[in-house]
């Protein structure tokens, strides 16, 4: 909470303009996806800087050259998407739980990104989101979906990845990009304003040829293991320095 307050105080002169622009860009017509995304990207980069959060990222060369892929990161908290918005240059959207759809500013950002809000207790609504997401990925949109379903609440330990989260990728036959997040829980979950670093590691993509004969639960397990291995590798390297 302390860091959120710090961000709000330092951004006060810009907040009225940001809300005006987010409302304008959030309208369903008149602005292309790159224009909308570039504004949010610039805004987020500034918020991270004044909030004393440094984003260290690597593996951008692993991202497929063509749009129409889905990124599957581990989920650590509300801050996760802000890390991506700084270090991912191309536009993307996100599947988020409906519980955060009314969080101030986040609500407006999700509108600009054309995010899909999912009700985890409504199977039928969830299937509609999967269908919509599949259609948009086939049209060339990129997405982030958190396959754990909810944040781990155990720091850099990750939870079980749910097979159902991979249905859109399987239906669209699109590349799956595992992403390892480290320390993304610190900015908003720890009551501190000390300068902190969040790591984002884009791992090698998994193409349809590799997973086409696998079940969704098997794909989920494979992605989960690759992310866990990367996190453990990073932690070992940190301990050795």
Q: What is the DSSP string of 53-81?
A: EEEEEE-GGGS-SSS--EEEE----TTHH
Q: How far is CA 182 from the centre of its chain?
A: 13
Pairing state between β 53-58 and 196-202? parallel
Alpha helices in 66-191 (DSSP H): 80-87, 106-113, 123-138, 167-172, 186-189
| Separation CA 37–CA 33 (nearest Å) | 6
H/E stretch holding 117: strand 116-118
Q: Which two tokens stand for residue 126?
A: 């969830």
**pLDDT of res. 152:** 66
The residues of the chain scoring below 70 in pLDDT are: 101, 152, 241
pTM: 0.92
Query: Cα–Cα–Cα angle for 192, 108, 6, nearest 5°?
Result: 20
Q: 2-11 and 33-50 helices cross at what angle (nearest 10)? A: 110
Model confidence pLDDT, tens digit, residues 152-164: 677 899 999 999 8
Helix (H, G, I), strand (E, B) or coil at 195: coil
């Amino acid at each position: 909470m302390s860091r959120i307050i710090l961000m709000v105080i330092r951004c006060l002169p810009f907040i009225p303009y940001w809300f005006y622009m987010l409302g304008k860009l959030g309208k369903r017509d008149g602005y292309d996806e790159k224009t909308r995304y570039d504004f949010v990207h610039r805004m987020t980069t500034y918020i991270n800087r004044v909030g004393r959060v440094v984003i260290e990222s690597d593996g951008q060369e692993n991202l497929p050259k063509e749009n129409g892929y889905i990124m599957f990161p581990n989920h650590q908290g509300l801050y996760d998407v802000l890390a991506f918005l700084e270090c991912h240059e191309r536009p993307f959207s996100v599947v988020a739980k409906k519980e955060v759809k009314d969080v101030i500013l986040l609500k407006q950002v999700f509108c600009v990104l054309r995010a899909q809000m999912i009700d985890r207790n409504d199977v039928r609504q969830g299937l509609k989101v999967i269908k919509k997401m599949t259609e948009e990925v086939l049209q060339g949109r990129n997405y982030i979906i958190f396959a754990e379903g909810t944040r781990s609440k155990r720091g850099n330990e990750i939870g079980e990845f749910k097979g159902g989260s991979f249905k859109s990728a399987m239906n669209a036959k699109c590349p799956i990009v595992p992403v390892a997040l480290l320390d993304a829980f610190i900015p908003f979950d720890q009551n501190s304003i000390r300068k902190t670093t969040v790591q984002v590691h884009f791992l090698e993509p998994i193409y349809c040829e590799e997973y086409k004969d696998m079940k969704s639960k098997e794909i989920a397990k494979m992605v989960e293991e690759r992310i866990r291995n990367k996190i453990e590798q990073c932690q070992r390297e940190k301990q050795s320095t």
